[in-house]
Amino acid sequence: MSARAARGRRVSGAAGVSLVELMLVLSMTATLIAIAVPQCMDSLDEYRTRAAAHYLAMRLADARVDAIKRSTFVGLRFEPVGADYRFTKVADGDGDGLSTIDVERGKDPVVAAPDMLAWHFTGVTFGILPGLPDADGVPGDTTDGIRLGSSELLTMNPNGSSSSGTLYLHGRGRTQYAVRVLGATGRVRIVHYVEARRTWGES
């Protein structure tokens, strides 16, 4: 065998990959994918839930501006749909403020099409995850995400103030946000639950 042929054989052998090496590479790749996919899904869930909270805050701010422009009460009505809620913008039509009865009777008209967070943000629903305290730090006894007292309405007043309440929403995992409305000022705040610290923080 010539020296040139021997060199060629050695180079060819060095460039080859054994079955064991190939299986090792595939195993490492599968492990990395198994680690990365849940992290990516958690990040996507966080992004969607945060975006949904900001979307809801924007809808509330829009209702507040509309109330000031119309010089009348405007609000969002929340209606249960299965385990979730849909919300609809309504306005005072008879000069006595908003009420669920007047909305049902058509005296306080609907001024925008019904909406649901799940239509825009996959996997996001109203609710508070089991075992989490509410945004005031009180241990929860319900997972219902609509906390508006006895009313189904969150009302914006023409003077810029509003009724108060907290709207909880979460994703498919452990991502939990809340949109809070402060009645005296009509200010809307977004907070989220920080699992590592077991507390709520402003977002």
Q: What is the CATH number of the domain that holds 162?
A: 3.55.40.10
- End-to-end Cα, the chain, rounded Å: 74
Task: Give the whole-angstrom CA distance, residue 32 versus residue 158.
Answer: 56
- Within a domain: 86: yes
Average pLDDT, the chain: 87
Q: pTM, whole model, 2 decimals?
A: 0.79
- Within a domain: 90: yes
Out of 5-9, 67-71, 150-154, which region has the weakest mean confidence (pLDDT)? 5-9
Indicate the pLDDT class of residue 160, thresholds 50, 70 and 90: very high
Domain total of the chain: 1
- Within a domain: 151: yes
Residue 62: the pLDDT is 95
Residue 33: the pLDDT is 59
Distances (CA, A) of 133 to 6, 17, 49, 142, 156: 74, 56, 18, 10, 27
Any residues with CB less than 8 A from the CB of 97 and at least 6 apart, and which? 73, 155
Asked whether residue 30 carries a pLDDT value surpassing 90, the answer given is: no
- Within a domain: 9: no
- Within a domain: 144: yes
Q: What is the largest CA-CA distance in the chain?
A: 105
- Within a domain: 184: yes
Domain that holds residue 127: 43-202
For residue 187, the SS3 value is: strand
- Within a domain: 157: yes
Indicate the pLDDT class of residue 171, thresholds 50, 70 and 90: very high
- Within a domain: 36: no
